[in-house]
Structure 1
Amino acid sequence: MPIHGLPTTLLCLALWPLWSLLMPALCHPDHSPCRLTQKTALCSDSELSSVPEGLPDNIEDLHLNHNHIQTLQDDSLSRYISLRTLSCADNRLETVGSKLFHNSPHLESLNLAANKLHVGYQQTSLALLTLSRLRVLDLSENQLTDNMASVLLQNMTSLEYLNLSRNLLLRLDESSFGDLHQLRELDLQRNMLFEIDASFDHLHKLQRLNLAFNYLPCLVDFHMTQLVVLNASHNSIEWFIANQDRQEVFKLETLDLTDNNLLFFPFLPTHSRLRNLHLSQNRVSFYEHLADTAAYPNWTTSVQFYNLRGNMSNVTAKLWDESLHGDISSLDLLDLSGNQVGYFPQGFISKMPSLARLRMRTNCLEVLNLTLEKLPGLLYELDVSNNMLTELHADQSSLRKLGNLSYLNLSQNDLQSLPAQLFSSLTSISSVDISYNRVGICPLEEGGVGMGGGGGKQSACVVWRNITSLRHLHLSGCNLGRLPSSAFVGTPLTHLELSNNPELIIGTRSIVGLSRTLHHLGLGNTGTRDFNFSPFHHLRSLNISRNSLTQLPASLLHLELRLLDLRDNRLTTVPSAQANVLAPKLHTLFLNGNTFNCCQLDCGVSSECLAGSAGSQSGRPCGAVECRTTVA
């Protein structure tokens, strides 16, 4: 159609000069590798080999992570005088130009992690010398040795956070961090450190020190009173000895000595604020019984430490002296899991009146006497699972004092009796696990009166009725038979685990009342066949694995399940009608270990067979292939 009397072809010819000028701007825009957000340039993962040009002069944060930059030239940042943060982690960076930061007077944070700075560390050190305001420096994973790190850190007087993790540091001395007077946090984890001789003495502002995953053999004469957090886990530490002569209060709040070679409880400061003490996975035991010279006439009652630094030639410590443990009065958490503790020294527990969490799993405890130990009233969590407990004693007075106890784990011991009213006497108890002990459930007619209800007498069964605070109960592997009538009446459980009781018989009134509260029910390996799940409208998670089921219980279709575990049964198919009802509700479904062919199911469930080298075969059972099942 003609426009203003001109044919279309003539109009196009007339507009062509203007169109040719506009085309480069409209059809061939300049695609920047960076995304700009206010004053931040995000240029990571862009396959860059240098700092991109054309960025706004006023950017304050520049992120160049995960690129291919090998060298930062002297003029790379010359335009960006407002730069405060530069992150160039995980490149191929070998050298930083000595004049790179001459126009970066405001730079406060520099991340050069995961590069190859060991190649040109001397030139890089000249560049770092010009950063008078740098507060945060990350040099982790750069294959740096002790000497290289010392050179790079010269005159870094403003630095507050330093990360040297994942390098090749072997030993540190007083010259290693000589200029870092403002340092507050130092990360040295995952090096090869075996010696740290006076290397932190002048770091008077250091509050957080991470020495994890090194090869330190001991920490003696510990005197860093200003330190708040010390992580020395995963080393080879046999002794931790704080300076006992210091009268100042140590500010240390968290001490992590997990996974070392400790034989003795650490020699802690005489005055401290310690709240969290992590000692799991060591070889700690108590040796107070060896002080009995009548029973052990050939044993010495002290140990000598030689060649400690300073003017001391040796120190003699009595291993069972009450002062051995130092000040533990403010402890909130004590984790001694995975050690060799067979008993608590007399008065040991009472020295921790603020203790809220005591973790003692996987030790050698044979008897636990809650009356004699005088556990603190603030105790919230007690875990003594996987010990050798055959006896647990408690009277009503001691149980009343444990009004704050919410979590109790007694699983994997050898208990065959308990005070019958033990748990109903704990007014705040919320979660109990006594799995893999041989303790039954008291029937209604044996309410615990005369069987330990009023005192510390032992009973072969426990009362689980009318415990209004209890929500989680784990009774796996307790050799349970027929559940008593109204076994949990008045106890609003949301999680009940009864798996691995192959002789279990659940009567129609055994778990009456739980239909209004129960969210998870574990019945794996219990011989369950035709249990009616219909009343349990609030059930969201159900485990009925290892029960030789040949078909799905029809009552499952009435539930709003999110997780269903059907592993290791004898199912040959899942009918389409059932699958269509369950599929829209389920988030997770476990089907492995059944005898149907996962790859040929036509049931509204999508199954992907992950066969071995032979591939999937028609008729091949799920036990022969790994079946990844998702709800369609």
Structure 2
Amino acid sequence: MPAQHLTPILLCLLAMWRIQTPVSSHPQYNHCQLVQKTAVCNSAELSSVPARLPENLEEIQLNYNQIKTLHDNSLLHYPSLITLTLACNGLERVQSNVFQDSKLLENLNFANNNINTGYEETSVALRKLPGLRFLDLSENKLNNEMASTLLHDLSSLEYLNLSGNLLQRLDETSFRHLHNLKELDLQRNIMFEIDSAFGSNPKLQRLNLAFNYLPCLTDFNMTQLVVLNASYNFIEWFISRQDLNEMFQLETLDLSNNRLLFFPFLPSRSKLQNLYLSHNILRFYENLVDNNTLQNSTTSVEFYNLQKHMKNVTAQLWDDNLHGDISSLDTLDLRGNQVDYFPDGFIKKMPTLSRLRMSMNCLETLNLSSEQFFGSLYELDISNNRLNQISADDKLLTTFGNLTYINLSRNDLKELPFGLFSSLQRIHSVDLSYNNIGICLPDETNINVNNITSCVQWNNIGSLRQLYLKGCDLETVPTSAFMGLSLTHLELSDNPGIDVQDSLQSLSRTLQYLGLGNTQIQDIDLSHFQSLKSLNLSKNSLFHLPPSLHDIDLKVLDIRDNRLSTIPSGQAHSLASKLQTIFLTGNMFNCCQTEWFRTFETTKTVNMIGKSDIECQDILAMTHRVQDSQMFLCLEAGESILWYILLLVPICLCLTGISIVVFLTYKSKILQKSIKKKYLKPTSY
């Protein structure tokens, strides 16, 4: 990937890092480092292009300097130059003849400058580059007129970056000279219209329109386009040309974070593999046809002015001829929409679908049999819906031979098809968190005539590695619950009162992550869990850490929101020698026993998350941040608080006595003045 693909900010940071990295084996010229035929002159406080570098240079990096003007004679000494980067300079003027002798220059980076100031002269200079292929003009405050002028006659361009500018409206004249353009980045502008802007770019394959203000994309006819990113706009409609017999080459379409009302009207013939529609307001409307409650509603929609001189089009809200070809889809992302059902045959039209992401929708039921899922399905995420029922027949379950990840968390499930998970030969990760599904007791046969069970038997599922049962109201976990499993991740948090000590022993050889947060656990023996790397014991009212933590090689420990007052010195040193990350906030530590904090702080390999928020109380019950040790009031070793009391009592008595003496001394004078003022008044005679 060329350097021009980096965003301007990342490019500037990269430039600063590279200039600060020593290259002792390479010669230096005028604050530049030479690496083969590349001169790295980033962050060198240069105001012009160095003139005494080797003439055979092919690349000069001048990012993050102070070059305001690129003079005509700046590049005379470098006729072999292929790549020139001047990002983050405040560059305002590029003189018209600066590239007169740079016939080999292909890559030019002017990102994050002020090209808008002298854009007319810069445009003349750019026309002197017959072989220019990559041009980065991002973050230059360019408007439509400036961009059009700069791009005039640059027919050799293949990659163009105009992101982060002030473009508002594009039309057929915007890129009419860029006949060889293959990739165009227009993200983070303020565009609200792109009327026929790309008709002169038959080779354009990658187009980025993200983070703009486009209200719709209609009459989409760019058959050569392979990747289109139109995320983070205000798009309500995506309508492609349905009358084209030519195959669309589109493979990836990203319409996420828009305002789509309907499933996009895709090309009738395409190679679409990845369709991202997350975080819209999309749903299906086929059921309105039979909805008697909407007597005055219509099931059709009219489209006006889809194309000049074109008659109005009337179409059904769900029409197989309009939603287009989805037979090649590999990934369908519909997260964060309002989908409450799949239209008849919708899933069946995607025989190669491997990833279906449906979290944060409104599904209430899912019939795996009637939807006719194919065996290609690899990932199924239906979390955070309203599911109260999932049904499937035994024959269908055997067809899910490729299903590896399934997420059913945050639904209203109370029952599941019997053998749902044990029938999946390659199942690797299952998430049933925040459902009311239990773990079956030995010999439990809670199965009704419809082959439905309210508990799941997890033992002997050989492929399972990650199991998430968070917030399932689990109380009793059979000793044999996880027998025959090779779990690496087990999440049991938010199950208050759960007892898992005996059932976990079968996982001591393989378990790497264990979640026991908010389970009211007070102690647990983990001394045999030699593979355990991450442990969550948060929200458990712990007064001390389990002693068995000494014996395992933990890397991540979460003990937030407990009742820890200190961590013994020996335990702190043991943990510090192994841990990489520790969470400690939410405990009220003793300010006078914070040696553990200094142990973790001096051990540079331990990262205390939220270090500034860790609190403690001193002997006067005042709260401080542990890192502010100079604010604490503590006793020295061996001292008793009785000595402080004996010291304070005489002081208080002395202050009280002095106050009484002062009051009595001035009391008589105060009384005399008061009497005189009240009774000794002058008379009239």
- Other structure's SS at 2:595 match: coil
- Residues 115-169 of structure 1 deviation map (CA, whole Å, 9 limit, x = unaligned): 0011100000000010100000000010000011000001101000000000000
Identify the residue that residue 18 of structure 1 maps to in structure 2. Answer: none
Partner of residue 601 from structure 1, selected from 594, 598, 617: 594
- Residues 202-248 of structure 1 deviation map (CA, whole Å, 9 limit, x = unaligned): 21000000000001111011000000000000011000000000011
- Other structure's SS at 2:508 match: helix
Identify the residue that residue 564 of structure 1 maps to in structure 2. Answer: 557
For 1:266-345, list aligned pairs within 5 A: 266-292=264-290, 296-345=294-343
Partner of residue 490 from structure 1, selected from 477, 484, 489: 484
Identify the residue that residue 138 of structure 2 maps to in structure 1. Answer: 140
Identify the residue that residue 458 of structure 2 maps to in structure 1. Answer: 464
Residues 598 and 382 (structure 1), Cα distance of their counterparts in 2 relative to 1, 3 Å cut: farther
Residues 462 and 575 (structure 1), Cα distance of their counterparts in 2 relative to 1, 3 Å cut: same
For 1:16-31, list aligned pairs within 5 A: none
In structure 1, stretches of 5+ residues that fail to align are: 1-28
Kept in 2, the 8 Å contact 1:595–1:622? The answer is no
| CA-CA distance at 1:537 after TM superposition | 1.7
**Aligned mates of 2:309, 2:232 — CA distance in 1:** 30
Residues 45 and 319 (structure 1), Cα distance of their counterparts in 2 relative to 1, 3 Å cut: same
- Other structure's SS at 2:601 match: strand
- Other structure's SS at 2:369 match: helix
Moved more, 523-532 or 206-215: 523-532
Letter in structure 2 aligned against 1:217: P
Kept in 1, the 8 Å contact 2:223–2:250? The answer is yes
- Other structure's SS at 1:511 match: helix
Identify the residue that residue 370 of structure 2 maps to in structure 1. Answer: 372
What TM-score, normalized by structure 1, do the two folds share? 0.91
Identify the residue that residue 4 of structure 2 maps to in structure 1. Answer: none
**Aligned mates of 1:501, 1:79 — CA distance in 2:** 72
| CA-CA distance at 1:53 after TM superposition | 2.0
Identify the residue that residue 568 of structure 2 maps to in structure 1. Answer: 575
In structure 2, stretches of 5+ residues that fail to align are: 1-26, 603-607, 629-685
Kept in 2, the 8 Å contact 1:475–1:497? The answer is yes
**Aligned mates of 1:601, 1:621 — CA distance in 2:** 15
Residues 620 and 214 (structure 1), Cα distance of their counterparts in 2 relative to 1, 3 Å cut: farther
Letter in structure 1 aligned against 2:475: G
Residue 216 (str. 1) matches residue 214 (str. 2) = yes
Letter in structure 2 aligned against 1:130: K
Residue 474 (str. 1) matches residue 468 (str. 2) = yes
| CA-CA distance at 1:625 after TM superposition | 3.5
**Aligned mates of 1:210, 1:602 — CA distance in 2:** 54
- Residues 355-393 of structure 1 deviation map (CA, whole Å, 9 limit, x = unaligned): 000000000000011111111110000000010111111
**Aligned mates of 1:365, 1:328 — CA distance in 2:** 21
Letter in structure 1 aligned against 2:469: L
**Aligned mates of 1:30, 1:111 — CA distance in 2:** 23
Residues 192 and 599 (structure 1), Cα distance of their counterparts in 2 relative to 1, 3 Å cut: farther
Kept in 1, the 8 Å contact 2:29–2:52? The answer is no
Identify the residue that residue 258 of structure 2 maps to in structure 1. Answer: 260
| CA-CA distance at 1:502 after TM superposition | 1.0
| CA-CA distance at 1:336 after TM superposition | 0.3
| CA-CA distance at 1:626 after TM superposition | 7.6
Partner of residue 55 from structure 2, selected from 48, 57, 63: 57
Partner of residue 111 from structure 1, selected from 109, 112, 117: 109
Larger Rg: 2
- Other structure's SS at 2:167 match: coil
**Aligned mates of 2:233, 2:186 — CA distance in 1:** 12
Same amino acid, percent of matched pairs? 58
Residues 611 and 297 (structure 1), Cα distance of their counterparts in 2 relative to 1, 3 Å cut: closer
Partner of residue 33 from structure 2, selected from 32, 35, 42: 35
Letter in structure 2 aligned against 1:537: Q
**Aligned mates of 1:611, 1:380 — CA distance in 2:** 43
Identify the residue that residue 19 of structure 1 maps to in structure 2. Answer: none
Whichever structure has more helix as a proportion of its residues is 2
**Aligned mates of 1:589, 1:94 — CA distance in 2:** 49
Kept in 1, the 8 Å contact 2:242–2:322? The answer is no
Kept in 1, the 8 Å contact 2:39–2:57? The answer is yes
Kept in 2, the 8 Å contact 1:598–1:622? The answer is no
**Aligned mates of 1:179, 1:492 — CA distance in 2:** 61
Residue 359 (str. 1) matches residue 357 (str. 2) = yes
**Aligned mates of 1:404, 1:418 — CA distance in 2:** 20
Kept in 2, the 8 Å contact 1:489–1:511? The answer is no
Moved more, 309-318 or 387-396: 309-318
- Other structure's SS at 1:368 match: strand
Residues 358 and 622 (structure 1), Cα distance of their counterparts in 2 relative to 1, 3 Å cut: farther
- Other structure's SS at 1:516 match: coil
Identify the residue that residue 20 of structure 1 maps to in structure 2. Answer: none
Letter in structure 2 aligned against 1:162: L
RMSD: 2.1
What TM-score, normalized by structure 2, do the two folds share? 0.84
| CA-CA distance at 1:624 after TM superposition | 5.7
- Residues 439-491 of structure 1 deviation map (CA, whole Å, 9 limit, x = unaligned): 10001111x5x727xx8522221111110010000001011102112111111
Identify the residue that residue 81 of structure 1 maps to in structure 2. Answer: 79
- Residues 272-312 of structure 1 deviation map (CA, whole Å, 9 limit, x = unaligned): 00000000000000000012275643221210011222321
**Aligned mates of 1:88, 1:598 — CA distance in 2:** 53
